[in-house]
């Protein structure tokens, strides 16, 4: 038997099955050292340093717990830790609802421990969330054994896989188009090219899923209410599981992926929610006539696969971009689905 996998800053303790209480696990697809050790003189395809976050977000992060270099890392590592801090509320709410703690596994963690998606992670999991936050240049890719393990996991009745391939900004070589994308989303911390999710893409390919992550689109906000994202366009007739019951909106984030379907077969994949786009600045996607992007997609069970697969970006589970009752209801729906 293989050794127990390490979750974020601790060794994972397997959870016992409890009827009606879902065991949620999160797998962050990055190599923490691979991201934290990126050359900061390289402008593209890296996370911001904490010092850059403080400068652009001033004065939001000038509190001692973030600004004091004796308390908080000021390089890229500090920004990676912000992600974990911002996911704590989702963890706490899910544990409160289910009675089970929510472990966060990293493909490669701070200490260099490497975790594969295998039976050690999947055996005590009912809902697996894969956050595709690895930059393509770090070369993370799902191994054949991991894809096979996830396939076996999804053969189990009642399982759910939530995939969150992140945005794909500036994939073109045309600098004018990259600049258009940059001005559209308006986030000074995002470089002209920031391509994510090689690991999640390889997992999607291995599972034969008809979805691709494109662009980084700025959602429309409610006029007069900065930070409040415009309501979703929800296909409630197609939401037979009630994932979006009582949900009006997610959270505002300046650059969200469009989950493009690569099939026209309505049984293969369905768009459950679309997000209106901020049209103040042009973007190749809106120039083509689009006014909304796919933000929540379902791939229903099929054949031997009994579990449902959902697509939702990892930022929806973060407090960095605001939390309201609608978003908390979405978290509870995912945690309590039968």
Q: Give the CATH number, domain containing residue 169.
A: 3.40.50
What's the pLDDT score for residue 2? 54
Tell me, yes or no, whether 60 lies in a domain: no
- Quick one: which of 326, 251, 328, 257 has its CA closest to 297? 257
> Can you tell me the distance from the alpha carbon of 44 to that of 233, in angstroms, rounded to the nearest whole number?
33
Evaluate the CA torsion angle 328, 27, 277, 49 in order and state its sign.
Answer: positive
What is the token pair recorded at 165? 């391939």
CA 221 to chain centre: 21
Which residue in 133, 93, 109, 88 sits closest to 257, CA to CA? Answer: 133
The answer to the question of residue 313 being in a domain is: yes
The domain containing residue 142 runs over which residues?
111-336
Q: In the chain, how many domains are there?
A: 1
- 104, 28 contact by CB (below 8 A): yes
80 in a structural domain: no
C-alpha pair distances (Å), 156 with each of 23, 74, 125, 142, 184: 14, 43, 11, 21, 43
For residue 48, being part of any structural domain is answered with no
The rounded distance, in Å, linking the Cα atoms of 280 and 249 is 20
Structure tokens at 156: 């189990």
pLDDT (tens place) for every residue of the chain, 338 residues total: 456 777 776 778 899 998 889 999 999 999 999 999 999 999 999 999 999 999 999 999 999 999 999 999 999 999 999 999 999 999 999 999 999 999 999 999 999 999 999 999 999 999 999 999 999 999 999 999 999 999 999 999 999 999 999 999 999 999 999 999 999 999 999 999 999 999 999 999 999 999 999 999 999 999 988 889 999 999 999 999 999 999 999 999 999 999 999 999 989 999 999 999 999 999 999 999 999 999 999 999 999 999 999 999 999 999 998 899 999 999 999 999 87
CA–CA–CA angle 242, 25, 189 (5° rounding): 90
Q: Is residue 31 part of a domain?
A: no
* Element spanning 154, H or E: helix 144-154
CA distance 286 to 270: 21
Answer yes or no: is 2 within a domain: no
Residue 39 included in any domain:
no
Kind of pairing, strands 308-311 and 160-165? parallel
Say which DSSP state 191 is in: -
Angle at 64 between CA 73 and CA 317, to 5 degrees: 65
Is residue 17 assigned to a domain? Answer: no
């Amino acid at each position: 038997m293989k050794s127990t996998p390490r979750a974020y800053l601790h060794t994972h303790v397997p959870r016992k099955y409890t009827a009606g209480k879902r065991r949620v696990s999160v797998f962050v697809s990055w190599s923490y050292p691979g991201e934290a050790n990126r050359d900061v003189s390289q402008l593209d395809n890296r996370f911001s340093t904490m010092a850059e976050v403080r400068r652009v977000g001033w004065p939001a992060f000038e509190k001692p717990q973030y600004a004091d270099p004796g308390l908080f890392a000021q390089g890229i590592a500090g920004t990676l830790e912000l992600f974990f801090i911002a996911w704590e509320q989702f963890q706490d709410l899910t544990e409160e609802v289910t009675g089970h703690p929510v472990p966060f596994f990293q493909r490669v963690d701070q200490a260099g421990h490497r975790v594969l998606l295998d039976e050690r992670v999947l055996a005590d999991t009912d809902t697996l969330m894969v956050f595709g936050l690895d930059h393509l240049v770090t070369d993370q890719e799902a191994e054949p054994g991991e894809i096979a393990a996830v396939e076996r996991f999804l053969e189990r009745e009642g399982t759910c896989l939530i995939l969150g391939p992140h945005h794909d900004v500036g994939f073109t070589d045309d600098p004018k188009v990259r600049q258009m994308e940059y001005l559209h989303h308006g986030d000074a911390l995002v470089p002209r090219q920031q391509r994510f999710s090689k690991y999640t893409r390889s997992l999607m390919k291995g599972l034969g899923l008809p979805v691709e992550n494109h662009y980084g689109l700025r959602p429309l906000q409610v006029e007069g209410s900065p930070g409040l994202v415009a309501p979703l366009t929800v296909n409630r007739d197609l939401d037979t599981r009630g994932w979006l019951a009582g949900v009006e909106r997610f959270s505002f984030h300046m650059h969200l992926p469009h989950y493009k379907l690569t099939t026209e077969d309505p049984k293969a994949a369905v768009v459950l929610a679309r997000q209106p786009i901020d049209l103040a600045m042009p973007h190749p996607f809106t120039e083509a006539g689009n006014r909304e992007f796919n933000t929540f997609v379902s791939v229903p069970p099929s054949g031997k696969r009994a579990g449902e697969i959902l697509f939702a970006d990892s930022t929806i589970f973060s407090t960095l971009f605001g939390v309201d009752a609608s978003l908390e209801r979405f978290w509870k729906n995912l945690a309590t689905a039968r």
